[in-house]
């Protein structure tokens, strides 16, 4: 049984985080109102169509709409929201042009909640925020309403592409303004997941989220560092990493590759920014992020060096495969994709290049926003002098490269950013060079 005071939940911001949470909460028998500021998105959602790809989302969302457990509205409508006693904020927190975390969306959503919430309601902040935001930004706004309220911070820690599954399995971190507030938030999340972890302060919960993503970013940065230092010593970094990891649990080095996406590109910066107030500068985390930010430039330079050595013509055809910021788990999310930087670098050196983009999940209209013409995998290879495999989608490990590379314009390069292709098991066509990031070895087609 869900307590009556927690039964109706209003989730503010129907993006990747808000919509997936809304569906799972509806499945757990809460009555959910999804509030979204973009009226086009609201219209689309009301029509039963999700506005991004996430495994299982479309059908599961439609089912909850039909059951009447999930409804959508704009902040101006505020019909269902006024009946709720629990509010979850899932609005975006991107960096601004100066690289500082934007707070305006959290402020606006908090003002909205302050307006519609009844006395005795609970507000849960779920966006990834600068340390102290729940207490210093959200709390004063809610206080200004003069109403009684409870407040908690419960970070979203799912991975895009597996969000619906992970919302039901990952431990949920809960920090409350008071113990009672944390208990109430815990009771809600206990309906979703077997484990809730109550921590002693709002800030503890906030920093855990920032550390999760900073840790992951640093983990990838270490793999990239190994690749670069192996290359400097004339060693094969991929071989080093495979051999070091094999059967030896104490070493787990990430595969090298470009790192991006809406979270990793900003969260280590939000963490560093948070500590300015404390006069502390994180060293490891900031350096790891800087290294990952250098990677697309390093990869692009390797491709352009090969193009220069092989005197490619100005109107060369270049295809980028894997446009989304990652391939595994599959997503259509282009936010923070490092692929954009590779496309921009090729365009800079080859302004007349014919640039094509292929992706197994991204829609053609979205691909065009990166400045490439969408193509199937066959069309991407056909007549191309350079094909870049830019993300680690499983599809790139299952392709017959012998056939595809035979349609390329020779001399040709296949550049594999993520070690997706097992080169030893493929015969590339004559005139084709295969290079992969992290390896000094070059394979030539026969
Ligand atoms: N994408 C992820 O997988 C992920 C994972 C963990 C944490 N996060 C964090 O969660 C937060 C949300 O991320 P996201 O990817 O869902 O962002 P998003 O930009 O996809 O979604 C935010 C949504 O909120 C809407 N919105 C903004 N202001 C609003 C307002 N005042 N009222 C109603 N709607 C409003 C926007 O139009 C947008 O649809 C961010 O802080 C992010 O860092 C994201």
Q: Are the beta carbons of 187 and 154 closer than 8 angstroms?
A: no
The pLDDT score that the predictor gives to residue 258 is: 96
Q: Are the beta carbons of 88 and 21 closer than 8 angstroms?
A: yes
- 436 in helix, strand or coil? strand
Q: Find the mean pLDDT for residues 16-30.
A: 98
How would DSSP label each residue in 222-241? HHHHHHHHHHHTT--HHHHH
Report residue 198: phi and psi, to 5°: -85, 125
- Flag whether pLDDT at 115 surpasses 90: yes
Q: What CA–CA distance (Å, rounded) separates 79 from 8? A: 12
Sign of CA dihedral 156, 158, 162, 167: negative
Read off the tokens for 212.
């999760």
Residue of the CA atom closest to atom 27 of ligand 1? 91
The pLDDT score that the predictor gives to residue 114 is: 98
Residue of the CA atom closest to atom 32 of ligand 1? 37
Identify the CATH number of the domain defined by range 4-199.
3.40.50.720
Q: Are the beta carbons of 282 and 264 closer than 8 angstroms?
A: no
Q: Find the mean pLDDT for residues 279-302.
A: 97
The pLDDT score that the predictor gives to residue 446 is: 65
Residue of the CA atom closest to atom 7 of ligand 1? 156
Ligand 1 mean position to 127 CA, how many Å? 7
Q: Between 202-232 and 267-274, two packed helices, what is the crossing angle to 10 degrees?
A: 120
Name the band, by pLDDT with cuts 50, 70 and 90, for residue 435. very high
Identify the CATH number of the domain defined by range 201-446.
3.40.50.720
pTM: 0.95
Residue of the CA atom closest to atom 39 of ligand 1? 15
- Flag whether pLDDT at 441 surpasses 90: no
Ligand 1 mean position to 191 CA, how many Å? 23
Q: Give the pairing of strands 412-416 and 70-73.
A: unpaired
The pLDDT score that the predictor gives to residue 297 is: 96
For CATH 3.40.50.720, the residue range(s) in the chain are 4-199, 201-446
Residue of the CA atom closest to atom 4 of ligand 1? 17
Between the two ends of the chain, the Cα-to-Cα distance in Å is 67
Ligand 1 mean position to 148 CA, how many Å? 26
- Flag whether pLDDT at 174 surpasses 80: yes
Task: Name all residues whose Cβ lies below 6 A of ligand 1.
Answer: 12-18, 35-38, 41, 75, 90-93, 105, 108-109, 112, 127-128, 156, 160, 262-263
- Residue 386: is the preceding peptide bond cis (ω within 30°)? no
Nearest atom of ligand 1 to the alpha carbon of 93: 41
Name the band, by pLDDT with cuts 50, 70 and 90, for residue 427. confident
- 17 in helix, strand or coil? helix
Ligand 1 mean position to 92 CA, how many Å? 3
Q: Are the beta carbons of 202 and 174 closer than 8 angstroms?
A: no
The pLDDT score that the predictor gives to residue 314 is: 95
- pLDDT tens string 291-300: 999 999 999 9
Name the band, by pLDDT with cuts 50, 70 and 90, for residue 444. confident
Residue of the CA atom closest to atom 35 of ligand 1? 13
Among residues 122, 302, 115, 271, the alpha carbon closest in space to that of 203 is found at 271
- Residue 411: is the preceding peptide bond cis (ω within 30°)? yes
């Amino acid at each position: 049984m869900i307590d009556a005071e927690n039964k109706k939940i209003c989730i503010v911001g129907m993006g990747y985080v808000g919509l997936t949470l809304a569906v799972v909460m509806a499945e757990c028998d809460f009555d959910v109102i999804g509030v979204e500021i973009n009226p086009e998105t609201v219209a689309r959602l009301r029509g039963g169509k999700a506005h991004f790809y996430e495994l299982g989302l479309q059908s599961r969302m439609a089912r909850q709409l039909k059951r009447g457990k999930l409804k959508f509205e704009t902040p101006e409508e505020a019909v269902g929201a006024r009946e709720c006693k629990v509010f979850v904020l899932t609005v975006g927190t991107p960096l601004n042009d100066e690289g500082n975390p934007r707070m305006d969306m959290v402020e606006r959503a908090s003002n909205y909640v302050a307006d519609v919430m009844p006395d005795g309601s609970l507000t849960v902040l779920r966006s990834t925020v600068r340390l102290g935001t729940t207490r210093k930004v959200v709390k004063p706004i809610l206080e200004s309403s003069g109403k009684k309220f409870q407040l908690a911070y419960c970070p979203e820690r799912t991975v895009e592409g597996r969000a619906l599954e992970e919302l039901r399995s990952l431990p949920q971190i809960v920090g409350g303004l008071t113990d009672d507030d944390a208990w109430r938030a815990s009771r809600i999340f206990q309906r979703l997941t077997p484990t809730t972890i109550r921590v002693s302060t709002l800030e503890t919960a906030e920093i855990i989220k920032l550390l999760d993503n900073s840790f992951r970013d640093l983990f990838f940065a270490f793999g990239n560092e190994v690749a670069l230092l192996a290359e400097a010593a004339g060693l094969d970094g991929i071989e080093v990493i495979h051999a070091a990891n094999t059967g030896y649990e104490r070493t787990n080095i990430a595969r090298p590759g470009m790192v991006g996406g809406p979270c990793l590109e900003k969260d280590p910066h939000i963490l560093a920014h948070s500590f300015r107030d404390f006069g502390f500068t994180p060293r490891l985390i900031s350096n790891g992020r800087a290294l990952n930010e250098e990677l697309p430039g390093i990869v692009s330079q390797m491709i352009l060096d090969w193009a220069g050595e092989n005197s490619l013509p100005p109107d060369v055809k270049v295809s980028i495969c894997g446009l989304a910021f990652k391939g595994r788990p599959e997503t259509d999310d282009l936010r923070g994709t490092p692929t954009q930087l590779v496309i921009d670098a090729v365009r800079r050196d080859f302004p007349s290049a014919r640039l094509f983009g292929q992706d197994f999940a991204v829609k053609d209209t979205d691909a065009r926003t990166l400045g490439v013409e969408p193509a199937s995998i066959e069309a991407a290879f056909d007549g191309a002098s350079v094909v870049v495999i830019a993300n680690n989608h499983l599809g790139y490990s299952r392709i017959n490269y012998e056939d595809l590379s035979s349609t390329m314009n020779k001399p040709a390069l296949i550049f594999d950013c993520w070690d997706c292709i097992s080169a030893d098991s493929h015969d590339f066509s004559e005139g084709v060079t295969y290079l992969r990031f992290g390896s000094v070895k070059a394979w030539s087609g026969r």
